[in-house]
Protein backbone atom coordinates (compact mmCIF):
# COMPACT_ATOMS: atom_id res chain seq x y z
CA UNK A 1 0.00 0.00 0.00
CA UNK A 2 1.23 3.51 -0.85
CA UNK A 3 2.43 5.43 2.20
CA UNK A 4 0.48 8.42 3.51
CA UNK A 5 1.90 11.71 2.30
CA UNK A 6 -0.63 13.69 4.31
CA UNK A 7 -3.04 12.75 7.08
CA UNK A 8 -5.40 15.04 9.01
CA UNK A 9 -7.88 13.66 11.54
CA UNK A 10 -10.53 15.93 13.07
CA UNK A 11 -8.17 18.84 12.58
CA UNK A 12 -8.87 22.51 13.25
CA UNK A 13 -6.51 25.27 12.15
CA UNK A 14 -6.51 29.00 12.74
CA UNK A 15 -4.77 31.99 14.26
CA UNK A 16 -4.39 33.20 17.86
CA UNK A 17 -6.63 30.42 19.10
CA UNK A 18 -9.48 31.29 16.71
CA UNK A 19 -10.37 28.48 14.26
CA UNK A 20 -10.53 29.32 10.56
CA UNK A 21 -11.26 25.74 9.50
CA UNK A 22 -12.67 22.84 11.49
CA UNK A 23 -13.40 19.16 10.98
CA UNK A 24 -10.64 18.47 8.45
CA UNK A 25 -10.12 14.78 7.63
CA UNK A 26 -7.63 13.98 4.87
CA UNK A 27 -5.66 10.91 3.83
CA UNK A 28 -3.48 11.56 0.79
CA UNK A 29 -1.25 8.88 -0.66
CA UNK A 30 1.84 9.04 -2.86
CA UNK A 31 0.94 10.03 -6.42
CA UNK A 32 -2.57 11.27 -5.59
CA UNK A 33 -3.80 14.72 -6.58
CA UNK A 34 -6.00 16.56 -4.05
CA UNK A 35 -7.80 19.81 -4.88
CA UNK A 36 -8.86 22.12 -2.06
CA UNK A 37 -12.01 23.77 -3.40
CA UNK A 38 -14.04 26.61 -1.95
CA UNK A 39 -14.98 30.26 -2.43
CA UNK A 40 -12.56 33.10 -1.85
CA UNK A 41 -11.89 33.40 1.88
CA UNK A 42 -12.89 29.79 2.55
CA UNK A 43 -9.59 28.96 4.25
CA UNK A 44 -7.75 27.20 1.42
CA UNK A 45 -4.50 29.12 1.88
CA UNK A 46 -4.76 28.72 5.65
CA UNK A 47 -5.01 24.96 5.27
CA UNK A 48 -2.01 24.82 2.94
CA UNK A 49 0.02 26.93 5.36
CA UNK A 50 -0.89 24.50 8.13
CA UNK A 51 0.65 21.73 6.03
CA UNK A 52 3.87 23.76 6.06
CA UNK A 53 3.67 24.23 9.82
CA UNK A 54 3.02 27.96 9.40
CA UNK A 55 -0.56 27.93 10.70
CA UNK A 56 -1.05 26.28 14.10
CA UNK A 57 -3.12 23.18 14.65
CA UNK A 58 -5.82 24.02 17.21
CA UNK A 59 -7.34 20.56 17.49
CA UNK A 60 -7.15 17.04 16.12
CA UNK A 61 -4.00 15.58 14.58
CA UNK A 62 -1.96 16.21 11.44
CA UNK A 63 1.07 14.55 9.89
CA UNK A 64 2.93 15.46 6.72
CA UNK A 65 5.17 12.75 5.28
CA UNK A 66 4.86 10.94 8.61
CA UNK A 67 5.99 13.91 10.69
CA UNK A 68 4.44 16.93 12.41
CA UNK A 69 3.98 19.60 9.71
CA UNK A 70 6.71 21.94 10.98
CA UNK A 71 9.28 19.12 10.91
CA UNK A 72 8.36 18.16 7.34
CA UNK A 73 8.66 21.67 5.91
CA UNK A 74 11.97 20.97 4.19
CA UNK A 75 10.59 17.83 2.55
CA UNK A 76 7.52 19.41 0.93
CA UNK A 77 7.63 21.67 -2.11
CA UNK A 78 5.57 24.87 -2.10
CA UNK A 79 4.34 27.07 -4.94
CA UNK A 80 2.84 30.31 -3.56
CA UNK A 81 0.56 32.66 -5.41
CA UNK A 82 2.65 34.81 -7.75
CA UNK A 83 1.52 38.06 -6.15
CA UNK A 84 3.13 37.11 -2.84
CA UNK A 85 6.58 37.75 -4.35
CA UNK A 86 8.20 41.09 -5.22
CA UNK A 87 8.51 41.13 -9.01
CA UNK A 88 10.91 44.12 -8.79
CA UNK A 89 13.56 42.19 -6.86
CA UNK A 90 16.67 42.06 -9.12
CA UNK A 91 17.12 38.31 -9.43
CA UNK A 92 17.37 36.11 -12.52
CA UNK A 93 15.12 33.20 -13.39
CA UNK A 94 18.02 30.79 -12.84
CA UNK A 95 18.73 32.26 -9.39
CA UNK A 96 15.09 31.87 -8.34
CA UNK A 97 15.07 28.21 -9.34
CA UNK A 98 18.46 27.59 -7.69
CA UNK A 99 16.87 28.64 -4.37
CA UNK A 100 15.05 25.33 -4.50
CA UNK A 101 18.37 23.46 -4.25
CA UNK A 102 19.39 24.97 -0.92
CA UNK A 103 18.07 21.94 0.95
CA UNK A 104 20.57 19.82 -0.98
CA UNK A 105 23.62 22.10 -1.01
CA UNK A 106 23.19 24.34 2.08
CA UNK A 107 22.92 28.11 2.18
CA UNK A 108 26.62 28.96 2.03
CA UNK A 109 27.94 26.29 -0.31
CA UNK A 110 28.47 27.02 -4.00
CA UNK A 111 26.28 25.24 -6.52
CA UNK A 112 27.73 22.02 -7.89
CA UNK A 113 27.43 20.69 -11.41
CA UNK A 114 24.59 18.43 -10.25
CA UNK A 115 22.69 21.44 -8.87
CA UNK A 116 23.15 23.44 -12.06
CA UNK A 117 22.02 20.44 -14.08
CA UNK A 118 18.92 20.02 -11.92
CA UNK A 119 18.03 23.69 -12.44
CA UNK A 120 18.46 23.35 -16.20
CA UNK A 121 16.25 20.27 -16.23
CA UNK A 122 13.53 21.94 -14.15
CA UNK A 123 13.47 24.99 -16.41
CA UNK A 124 13.28 22.75 -19.46
CA UNK A 125 10.34 20.84 -17.95
CA UNK A 126 8.33 24.03 -17.51
CA UNK A 127 9.31 25.30 -20.97
CA UNK A 128 11.49 28.21 -19.86
CA UNK A 129 15.04 27.04 -20.55
CA UNK A 130 15.49 29.97 -22.93
CA UNK A 131 14.54 32.46 -20.18
CA UNK A 132 17.13 31.31 -17.62
CA UNK A 133 19.14 34.55 -17.76
CA UNK A 134 16.16 36.90 -17.78
CA UNK A 135 15.16 38.98 -14.78
CA UNK A 136 12.37 37.19 -12.93
CA UNK A 137 10.21 40.32 -12.70
CA UNK A 138 10.38 40.88 -16.47
CA UNK A 139 8.42 37.71 -17.19
CA UNK A 140 4.65 37.49 -17.60
CA UNK A 141 2.52 36.32 -14.69
CA UNK A 142 2.14 32.86 -16.18
CA UNK A 143 5.87 32.55 -16.82
CA UNK A 144 6.67 33.62 -13.25
CA UNK A 145 4.31 30.94 -11.97
CA UNK A 146 6.16 28.36 -14.06
CA UNK A 147 9.45 29.56 -12.56
CA UNK A 148 8.03 29.07 -9.06
CA UNK A 149 6.96 25.56 -10.03
CA UNK A 150 10.48 24.85 -11.31
CA UNK A 151 11.91 26.12 -8.01
CA UNK A 152 9.66 23.72 -6.12
CA UNK A 153 10.31 20.62 -8.22
CA UNK A 154 14.08 21.12 -8.30
CA UNK A 155 14.08 20.19 -4.60
CA UNK A 156 12.68 16.75 -5.53
CA UNK A 157 9.76 16.86 -3.05
CA UNK A 158 7.58 13.88 -2.16
CA UNK A 159 4.69 16.27 -1.53
CA UNK A 160 3.99 19.43 -3.54
CA UNK A 161 1.64 22.16 -2.25
CA UNK A 162 0.31 24.74 -4.73
CA UNK A 163 -1.72 27.79 -3.67
CA UNK A 164 -4.03 28.92 -6.52
CA UNK A 165 -1.39 28.12 -9.17
CA UNK A 166 -3.64 29.05 -12.11
CA UNK A 167 -4.72 32.52 -11.01
CA UNK A 168 -4.01 35.02 -13.77
CA UNK A 169 -1.96 32.66 -15.94
CA UNK A 170 -2.22 32.42 -19.71
CA UNK A 171 -3.39 29.30 -21.53
CA UNK A 172 0.13 28.25 -22.54
CA UNK A 173 1.37 28.47 -18.96
CA UNK A 174 -1.68 26.66 -17.59
CA UNK A 175 -1.18 23.80 -20.03
CA UNK A 176 2.52 23.60 -19.14
CA UNK A 177 1.77 23.55 -15.40
CA UNK A 178 -0.91 20.86 -15.78
CA UNK A 179 1.43 18.71 -17.88
CA UNK A 180 4.22 18.91 -15.28
CA UNK A 181 1.82 18.18 -12.42
CA UNK A 182 0.54 15.07 -14.17
CA UNK A 183 4.13 13.92 -14.74
CA UNK A 184 5.00 14.45 -11.09
CA UNK A 185 1.92 12.57 -9.94
CA UNK A 186 2.70 9.65 -12.25
CA UNK A 187 6.19 9.51 -10.71
CA UNK A 188 4.75 9.28 -7.18
CA UNK A 189 4.68 12.88 -5.96
CA UNK A 190 1.55 13.70 -3.95
CA UNK A 191 -0.08 17.01 -4.91
CA UNK A 192 -2.30 19.44 -3.01
CA UNK A 193 -3.74 22.23 -5.19
CA UNK A 194 -5.96 25.00 -3.87
CA UNK A 195 -8.38 26.47 -6.40
CA UNK A 196 -11.76 28.17 -6.67
CA UNK A 197 -12.05 26.96 -10.29
CA UNK A 198 -14.30 23.90 -10.45
CA UNK A 199 -13.19 23.06 -14.00
CA UNK A 200 -9.53 22.90 -12.93
CA UNK A 201 -10.39 20.78 -9.90
CA UNK A 202 -12.55 18.41 -11.91
CA UNK A 203 -10.02 17.89 -14.69
CA UNK A 204 -6.84 17.66 -12.62
CA UNK A 205 -7.66 16.14 -9.25
CA UNK A 206 -8.27 12.57 -8.08
CA UNK A 207 -9.77 13.79 -4.80
CA UNK A 208 -11.67 16.91 -3.76
CA UNK A 209 -11.79 18.54 -0.33
CA UNK A 210 -14.65 21.04 -0.33
CA UNK A 211 -14.19 23.67 2.38
CA UNK A 212 -15.68 26.92 3.60
CA UNK A 213 -15.00 27.44 7.29
CA UNK A 214 -15.26 23.68 7.73
CA UNK A 215 -14.92 20.58 5.60
CA UNK A 216 -18.16 19.96 3.71
CA UNK A 217 -17.09 16.97 1.64
CA UNK A 218 -14.01 14.95 0.77
CA UNK A 219 -13.60 12.13 -1.73
CA UNK A 220 -13.60 11.37 -5.46
CA UNK A 221 -14.66 14.14 -7.84
CA UNK A 222 -18.01 12.58 -8.76
CA UNK A 223 -19.03 12.26 -5.12
CA UNK A 224 -18.00 15.72 -3.96
CA UNK A 225 -18.68 18.20 -6.77
CA UNK A 226 -22.44 17.74 -6.68
CA UNK A 227 -25.14 20.41 -6.65
CA UNK A 228 -26.06 19.51 -3.07
CA UNK A 229 -22.55 19.76 -1.61
CA UNK A 230 -21.73 22.91 -3.57
CA UNK A 231 -24.85 24.64 -2.27
CA UNK A 232 -23.86 23.69 1.27
CA UNK A 233 -20.32 25.01 0.89
CA UNK A 234 -21.05 28.12 -1.17
CA UNK A 235 -24.23 29.19 0.59
CA UNK A 236 -26.02 31.90 -1.38
CA UNK A 237 -23.99 31.38 -4.55
CA UNK A 238 -25.97 30.19 -7.55
CA UNK A 239 -25.37 26.73 -8.98
CA UNK A 240 -25.75 26.61 -12.74
CA UNK A 241 -25.18 24.03 -15.44
CA UNK A 242 -22.87 25.10 -18.28
CA UNK A 243 -21.89 22.66 -21.02
CA UNK A 244 -23.18 19.84 -18.86
CA UNK A 245 -21.04 20.84 -15.88
CA UNK A 246 -21.91 22.46 -12.58
CA UNK A 247 -20.67 26.03 -12.24
CA UNK A 248 -20.71 28.18 -9.11
CA UNK A 249 -21.64 31.82 -9.69
CA UNK A 250 -20.57 33.73 -6.60
CA UNK A 251 -22.56 36.88 -5.73
Question: Is the pTM above the cut of 0.85?
Answer: yes
Q: How many residues does the chain have?
A: 251
126 in Cβ contact with 147 (< 8 Å): yes
The whole-number pLDDT of residue 112 equals: 83
**Angle 120-139-89 (CA atoms, 0-180°, nearest 5)?**
90
Whole-number pLDDT of residue 83:
62
Residue 77 gets the label, from left (phi > 0), alpha (psi -120 to 50) or beta, of: beta
Query: Across 157-201, where does the E strand assignment appear?
Result: 159-163, 190-195
On the 0-12 / 13-18 / 19+ scale of CB atoms within 10 A, 226 is middle
Strand intervals (E) in 46-158: 57-64, 76-79
CA–CA distance, 29 with 34 (Å, rounded to integer): 10
pLDDT tens digits for range 144-198: 999 999 999 999 999 999 999 999 899 999 999 999 999 999 999 999 999 988 8
Looking at domain 4-249, which of 3.40.640.10, 1.10.1040.10, 3.40.50.300, 3.40.50.150 is its CATH number? Answer: 3.40.50.300
Q: What is the pLDDT of residue 102?
A: 82
pLDDT of residue 84: 67
Q: Which residues, listed in sequence order, are joined to residue 239 by a DSSP beta bridge?
A: 248
Q: 50-83 in b/e burial notation, b at 16+ Cβ within 10 A?
A: bbebebebbeeebbbbeeebeebbebbbbbbbbe
Q: Which residues of the chain have pLDDT under 70?
A: 1-2, 82-84, 104-108, 236-251
Determine which helix (DSSP H) or strand (DSSP E) holds 124, and give its type and residue range.
helix 113-125
* Residue 244, pLDDT score: 46
Contacts of 233 (CB under 8 A, 6+ apart): 37, 38, 39, 42, 210, 211, 212, 216, 217
Amino acid sequence: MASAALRYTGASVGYQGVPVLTGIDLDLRAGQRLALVGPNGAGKSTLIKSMLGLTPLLGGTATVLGRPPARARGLAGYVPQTDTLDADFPVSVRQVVMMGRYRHLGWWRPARAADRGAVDEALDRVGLADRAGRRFGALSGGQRQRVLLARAIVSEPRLLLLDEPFNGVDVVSQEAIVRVLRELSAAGTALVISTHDLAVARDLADLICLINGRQWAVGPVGETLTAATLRQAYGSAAIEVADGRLVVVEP
